Amino acid sequence: MQTTLTTYTVQQICEDFEYNELEGKGLFGLAGKLTIQPEYQRSYIYLGTPSETAVITSLLKGYPLGLIYFNRLDDGRLEVLDGQQRITSFGRYVTGKFAIIDGNGNPHYFDALPSDQQDLILNSKILVYECEGKETEIKEWFKTINIKGIPLNEQELRNAIYSGPFVTAGKAVFSNSTSNSNLDKWRTFVKGAPNRQEIWETALRWVSEDKIDDYMSLHRHDTGITEVKSYFDAVLDWASRVFTTTRAEMCGLDWGRLYRTYHHKSYSATSVDTDVVALYGDPYVTNKSGVFEYVLGGQTDLKLLQIRVFDKPTRITAYTKQTKDAKDRNTSNCPLCAIGPSPNNTKLWPLSEMDADHISAWSTGGATVTFNCQMLCSTHNKAKGNH
Ligand SMILES: [Zn+2]
């Protein structure tokens, strides 16, 4: 790979600068010669953030913006390898897309700046490394240089590695938050920011059953994403049919796995809702996000609910009472040892070797209160097993 160090002024880079509002990305600069956001680049994430303003105030103070890297293609055109957030920031500013706010809260658009400040920005020199090499070489290197700033996340890296028409089609559907009428429905079930590729990642995770890299490699040259999109829609349609009331804990569950496991079973949305309401109202259920799978699975897997356990004062109270009674009767303080064969039927266990048990299990209505707590020796508690 060959590299050349060169400089451009902000004015040169901003010549014919184009910003696409719809896709939220800078497109071209250097009179059309520079592609600012090649498809393997992440979206413009400085939009509306303090970083965007910081780029402009740095230029006004004469601070350097740091090194920028371009990739020189065979036909002489350039694309930004690293620096597209900075370039898009000053490009958007110079073309009047946003204002900087001064210390008194007054906005200043580029056109309204005094001409000496305009010149200061336009004449700022930007230091650029131009590199030439094979696609794989450049992409490998791109992974290395991008560790500064906000690092690329896993899906942004995958988009770089498997760049092509498939990634372009996926991003058009899943990473475009400005013109997306489905976003509210998606947000009910899927966590993450569209522009950081997190919805796209979830869609891929579901259709590929967690083998995103294999899937992207296999479909890299596809021109569409029909399978990804229809699977994603099927999962969300199913989830919103079964669970008709929106709850915060639904967001971010692995609905793809739940769909694969349970969509062949039939559910009544009304009785599902009644069950969910009851479990949400149960103070002993500490893991609300487990409620949905618990109901889907026929209310058998108690681990999903993380039923509240007895606290220490409750355990000590029960232990003290049981041990006193056991001493009076000369039996073991573990009620199950007491009715068993010797020698353990008279053994007094220390607190550290006993565990708390619900006399009446939670699943049959037993509450986590003192009168329902009994201490069992560890062996008997494990054998009983049921909360
Ligand atoms: Zn025992």
Q: Which of the four pLDDT bands, split at 50, 70 and 90, describes residue 98?
A: very high
Residue 319 Cα to ligand 1 middle (Å): 13
Measure 338 CA to ligand 1 centroid, in angstroms: 7
Considering only residues 236 and 6, tell me which one the structure prediction assigns the higher pLDDT.
Answer: 236
Task: Give the distance (Å) from ligand 1 centre to CA of residue 286.
Answer: 28
Residue 358 DSSP one-character state: E
- Measure 323 CA to ligand 1 centroid, in angstroms: 13
CA of 345 from ligand 1 middle (Å) equals: 8
Residue-level pLDDT at 40: 65
Q: Answer for the pair 281, 323: CB distance below 8 angstroms, yes or no.
A: no
d(CA 282, CA 231): 34
The alpha carbon of 354 and the centre of ligand 1 are apart by a number of angstroms equal to 8
Give residue for tokens 């009983």: 384
And the tokens for 251?
């967001």
- Looking at every residue in the chain, the average pLDDT score rounds to 88
Q: How far is the CA of 339 from the centre of ligand 1 (A)?
A: 9
Nearest to 121 by CA among 98, 93, 102, 149: 93
Confidence of residue 300 (pLDDT cuts 50, 70, 90): confident
Distance between Cα 23 and ligand 1 center (Å): 66
Give residue for tokens 């209310």.
299
Distance 344 CA to ligand 1 centre (A): 7
In this model, does residue 148 exceed pLDDT 60?
A: no
pLDDT in tens, 14-28: 999 988 877 767 788
CA of 366 to the centre of ligand 1 (A): 21
Q: How far apart are CA 257 and CA 211, in angstroms?
A: 13
Closest CA to 238 of 292, 281, 286: 292
* Residue 25 CA to ligand 1 centre (angstroms): 68
Handedness of CA 138, 139, 140, 141 (dihedral sign): positive
| Cα separation, 268 vs 234, whole angstroms | 18
DSSP reduced 3-state for 357:
strand
Q: Where are the alpha helices (DSSP H) in 14-71?
A: 50-60
Cα(75) to ligand 1 centroid in Å equals: 81
Contact 66, 89 (CB under 8 A): no
Ligand 1 center to 352 CA (angstroms): 13
* pLDDT tens-digit map of 230-288: 999 999 999 999 999 999 999 999 999 999 999 999 999 999 999 999 999 988 888 99
CA of 375 to the centre of ligand 1 (A): 9
Query: For residue 381, how far is its CA from the centre of ligand 1 (angstroms)?
Result: 8
- Gap from CA of 253 to ligand 1 centroid (Å): 40
Better pLDDT: 385 or 15: 15
Distance from the alpha carbon of residue 307 to the mean position of ligand 1, in angstroms:
23
Q: Cβ neighbours of residue 178 under 8 Å, at least 6 residues apart?
A: 21, 22, 24
How many angstroms does the Cα of residue 300 sit away from the middle of ligand 1? Answer: 27
Alpha carbon of 165 to ligand 1 centroid (Å): 66
Length of the chain in residues, anyone? 387
Q: How far is the CA of 329 from the centre of ligand 1 (A)?
A: 16
Least confident of 92-96, 263-267, 340-344: 340-344
C-alpha of residue 303 to centroid of ligand 1, in Å? 24
- The region, left, alpha or beta by phi > 0 then psi within -120 to 50, assigned to residue 131 is beta
CA separation for the pair 35, 16 (Å, rounded): 11
Decide if pLDDT at 144 tops 70.
no
Distance 313 CA to ligand 1 centre (A): 21
Both tokens of 27, joined, read: 């497109």
State percent of the chain over pLDDT 70.
Answer: 92
- Tell me the CA–centroid distance for residue 376 and ligand 1, in Å: 6
365 C-alpha vs ligand 1 centroid, how far in Å? 24
**Identity (one letter) of the amino acid at 347?**
K
DSSP bridge pairs for 129: 5, 69
What's the CA angle centered on 351, arms 349 and 354, to 5 degrees?
70
Q: How many Å lie between the centroid of ligand 1 and the Cα of residue 336?
A: 5
